[in-house]
Structure 1
Amino acid sequence: MRYLLFIAGMGGLLYGIDIGIIAGALPYLEATASVAWKLSAQQLSFIVAAVLLGSVLSSLFAGALADAIGRRWTMVLAGALFTASIPLIALSDGYLPLLLGRLLQGVSGGLIGVAVPLYLAECLHADKRGRGAALFQLLLTIGLVAAAVIGLVQANSVDSATQAAQALPAGARADAIFAAKDHAWRSIFWMCLTPGLVFTFGSLLLAESPRWLVQRGRIEQARAALLRTRAPAEAETELRDMQAAAGTVAARRNQAAAQGPGAGPSAGDIAAARGVAAPRDGSPASAPAGDSLASRRYILPFLLACLVLACTQATGINSVLAYVVNILNQAGLPGATANMADVGLKVLNAVMTVVAVLLVDRKGRKFLLMLGSAGIVVALLAAGLLFRSAEGEQRDVRSIVAAQAQGDTLTLRLDAPTLQALGAPAGDAAQLLTVSYSYGPFTNVQTRRSDDPALPAMILSRDSAVQEDSVIGAFFRRLHLNPFADPAAGRNAPLQIEQARIGALPSEAHGWQVTLAICLFVASFAVGPGVCVWLALSELMPTRIRSNGMSIALLVNQFVSTTIAAVFLPTVGQYGYAAMFFFWAGCTVVYFLTATFLLPETKGKTLEEIEAHFAR
């Protein structure tokens, strides 16, 4: 059992590394590869986004692959692809091998995101299943932290090399710094090789999912797999229910011998003869396994799982974590303090995930989702009200800002003359300027604080708003399936100032109040949705559609996440942060109601019993 959890946890670690590793490597990759290989900014963005494209593509077939070759071999394949990607990237001498390596990492991540939760749900005892999924989420979080630590180690190495090179002549100094940065990004990827090897070879030693084996008619192998984590009597009972759920009518000679010649058939035996699953609590059995895929027992849990995943993304978790430094900075915290708060939030996320690991099999999924979603609603409403109080005091200066544009660009420095022109009151109070602008369908938002010692200029240009398609966008645009704006529509569009507001910078105390609200948000998410979403994904799906249903649900998850990311900045620029927080709070209310009234408690129940619940 511990070995199974360890290997599954390593899958979560790889998933987290997949997501986070490029952040530390990108600055050095940009400083070296873009020069040596003449990479454009567009090609660099493709390298970053290739992981997401690979994940989306593999999610499309991960379920079918897991059904075809088994859960264990899908995990082995995912680990092998990740392991192969490391030398391909670290030894690359051009754009194509680097892009291919990143694409392989994305494919690996997509397979892991389906196969590992699926394997855990089908292999673990009902009383341990929640802890297994929580451990996957915990190691995923640790993977993100590990990626950041690896990047930090290499950043310190580059800083040391840069300091040592100061004594060299100019040419030699430039070569030494270039070599240090080139070594840094390659080393960042090399340091990820060990967990990939551990996961790959460790997965080879795992038993196959007993439910997959039963579906293939390999009953003895399924029994052997169950006996690795269960007592013999319990393994036989669960195996009988698996056969019933799979529509298998099989004689149970060993069970009959154990019951004695005079014993009557058990509820499971009767259920197996009818092709249904008999729950242990005597509740009505599920429908035959050969019924229509459009029946209630399949449609209802599938839609419920998709709703849970969509609501998880609609809490705004990804946008909050991605923009937390900007959010806290505009709330009133100084830049360095906001960065420290960001680190603190990541630590809090990991700590609260540990708490969730301890609680999920004791308190249950339904309770944690209700608790977590309720806490998120309170946190988002508090943050929204705090921002509304600050944003309500800002003044509209759109016409003044628009008048300073020169052609399709605008350069603005928030110095004393500019503040006077914008009508800011005289005095020492720091001012915050927020400008939302667009070029055709492309929008962007920039902010400046008058108390910034560097006082950088605000430069509104086409390049800062109109972004070429990423590798994902280009792929889907060729298929005429890209729902987002076409870069061609923004190349010749004029600069349009959508909103421009200026007001007194919120106090640092206000910033700490927002920080506390976001701490509550992150803690509530980690305890509830952060862990339970993987359980909802794997537990709710009936055995017949579990693998393919999980693939589709993950695509829904990625679609909602991408949509929220696309509308975040335009919404903030047009209506302010308060509107975004209130919108997320409304979505999370739907989440709370779903957890309260629609989601069944699955703690301590076998997958067959959960399936029987939806058949009633």
Structure 2
Amino acid sequence: MSMTEANQPKKDWRFILIAIVAGLGGLLFGYDTGVVAGVLLFVNQVFHFDASMKGLFVAIALAAAAVGAAFAGALADAFGRRAVLIVAAVLFSAGAILSSVAGTIPILFLGRVMVGAAIGVSSMITPLYLSEITAAHWRGAIVTINQFYITVGIFVSYLVDYMLSGTPDGWRWMLGLGSVPGLILLGGMMVLPESPRWLAGRNFIEKATAGLRFLRGRQDVSEELGDLHRDIVEDSRRAAPWSLLLTRKVRKPLIIGVGLAVFQQITGINVVIYFAPTIFRDAGLSSASGSILATVGIGAVNVIMTGVAMRLLDTAGRRKMLLLGLYGMLTSLVFIGTGFLIQLHGPLTYIIVGMVAIFVAFFAIGLGPIFWLMISEIFPLAIRGRAMSIATVANWVSNMVISGIFLDLLLIIGRGPTFMFYAAMTVLAILFTLWIVPETKGKTLEQIEDSL
């Protein structure tokens, strides 16, 4: 877009309201991601899960998330971003309630599949929606609201886990309360506008104009609408089949998106999120409530540092923040692995707890938000939804594999070598970033497309 500084839209209550409500998609993601950590400590008392079944309990939702993400892009391109988010909110709420009342393993797993599918859809559509309604000069902060909501959802779930850890059948309430953010998202999306980019691409020009006026808080949006129209006309001159994903123009962005998706998971973050109480108990915190309380602190660090990232991404830049985060993650993973290898005891156990907190802090300012932000920026408009789906599916499949095998991996090679493996993967992530990941700070989506 060619907007001048004088014409750049200012943040006002309307747009902030939209960003907050749309970001609830991230809250769904975060709550369910975090609540599993507490549920895993208690659900086996009813269903008698061994390590493999615990891994399957986590992995089945992640597999459903991968499937949901796979279809989300095509659905969003066909029916609109807003409509798909509404369906995801309904599916999440229903799945959360079904999981909470389950009396058998098949019903429990069915509820988890529904929740997982909704998370997969919302994890891909929410950053896409936010990136398309946001002006370039504060897109980094607004799209990162999605990641901020993820961390808030994780923190809230840890608090819920702690408060219900001593309650009979508390794990059912842990799962059932996930329906609340789903219902809030459903209500909020009922009053929000569709993406003007999507509307203009479907030739709903009047609706696109009205949406832009609402978003920008002014009547004259002709320049921005003209930029949108030119971009759409250019894309309409060429077909956008799936084979476009294999062309030279898309190849590099696709390598970046899928690469960051995989590295976000194989460096170990969701192992920490899902199994933090288990890790802390293995490190020497004997009680379930004590392990969960330590996990609450980790959740608070995650929220705070994501807030820091929101303030820095549009000034310090995506690539610099990504590298800083990876270096910090590498250092903390080496300390965690070493701590388990030398079998720290007593007060020294808290060194591991502290290093887990540092690991999460550096993830929260780097790889956590930047993956979701960059996949919403780097793909051409003509295939943005489908390309984001591919990157999101890669993220969820990697999440499923890493989380599903974690407990078995601990039994096979031990805690120390497991975390050293994650450290080695972080080294690869650093090399990947240095090799191919570009800086997108301050560029419009059209400028990023041209540069790649």
What TM-score comes out, normalization by structure 2 length? 0.83
Amino acid at match of 2:231: A
What residue is the counterpart of 2:254 in the other structure? 302
Matches within 5 A, 1:310-329: 310-324=262-276
Amino acid at match of 2:319: K
What residue is the counterpart of 2:223 in the other structure? 237
Name the SS of the counterpart of 1:228 in structure 2: helix
Q: C-alpha distance in 1, partners of 2:294/2:53?
A: 33
What residue is the counterpart of 2:367 in the other structure? 529
Aligned residue pair count = 433
Deviations 1:50-90 (A, max 9, x none): 53343222122111111110001001111122233355455
What residue is the counterpart of 2:355 in the other structure? 517
What residue is the counterpart of 2:308 in the other structure? 355
Q: C-alpha distance in 1, partners of 2:100/2:443?
A: 46
Would you say 1:544 and 2:382 are equivalent positions? Answer: yes
What residue is the counterpart of 1:469 in the other structure? none
Q: Which has the higher strand share?
A: 1
Name the SS of the counterpart of 1:540 in structure 2: coil
Would you say 1:365 and 2:379 are equivalent positions? Answer: no
Amino acid at match of 1:316: G
Would you say 1:378 and 2:378 are equivalent positions? Answer: no
Deviations 1:102-132 (A, max 9, x none): 3322221111111111101111111222222
Name the SS of the counterpart of 1:562 in structure 2: helix
What residue is the counterpart of 2:10 in the other structure? none
What residue is the counterpart of 2:421 in the other structure? 583
Q: Which runs of 5+ in 1 are unaligned?
A: 159-180, 249-274, 277-286, 391-504
Task: For CA contacts below 8 A with separation 6 or more, give which structure has more relative contact order.
Answer: 2
Q: C-alpha distance in 2, partners of 1:348/1:48?
A: 23
Q: C-alpha distance in 2, partners of 1:42/1:305?
A: 31
Cα 1:157/1:576, change in 2 over 3 Å: closer
Would you say 1:140 and 2:150 are equivalent positions? Answer: yes
Matches within 5 A, 1:383-532: 383-386=336-339, 390=342, 505-508=343-346, 510-532=348-370
Amino acid at match of 1:378: T
Cα 1:148/1:582, change in 2 over 3 Å: closer
Deviations 1:30-54 (A, max 9, x none): 666x69xxx9999998776553343
Q: CA deviation at 1:238?
A: 3.0
Would you say 1:611 and 2:444 are equivalent positions? Answer: no
Q: Percent identity?
A: 33
Would you say 1:198 and 2:208 are equivalent positions? Answer: no
In our comparison, the structure showing a higher alpha carbon Rg is: 1
Q: Which runs of 5+ in 2 are unaligned?
A: 1-14
Q: C-alpha distance in 1, partners of 2:413/2:55?
A: 29
Residue 563 of structure 1: which of 398, 401, 414 is its match? 401
Q: Is the 8 A contact 1:385 1:578 kept in 2?
A: yes
Residue 116 of structure 2: which of 92, 106, 119 is its match? 106
Q: C-alpha distance in 1, partners of 2:218/2:377?
A: 24
Q: C-alpha distance in 1, partners of 2:211/2:336?
A: 49
Residue 67 of structure 2: which of 57, 60, 63 is its match? 57
Q: Which moved more, 1:66-75 or 1:579-588?
A: 579-588
Cα 1:563/1:197, change in 2 over 3 Å: closer
Amino acid at match of 1:297: K
Q: CA deviation at 1:135?
A: 1.7
Q: C-alpha distance in 2, partners of 1:584/1:46?
A: 21
What residue is the counterpart of 2:297 in the other structure? 344
Q: CA deviation at 1:308?
A: 1.0
Q: C-alpha distance in 2, partners of 1:511/1:24?
A: 20
Cα 1:506/1:30, change in 2 over 3 Å: closer
What TM-score comes out, normalization by structure 1 length? 0.62
Deviations 1:580-605 (A, max 9, x none): 44433332233223334422222222
Q: Is the 8 A contact 2:64 2:120 kept in 1?
A: yes
Q: Is the 8 A contact 1:387 1:578 kept in 2?
A: yes
Q: CA deviation at 1:24?
A: 4.9
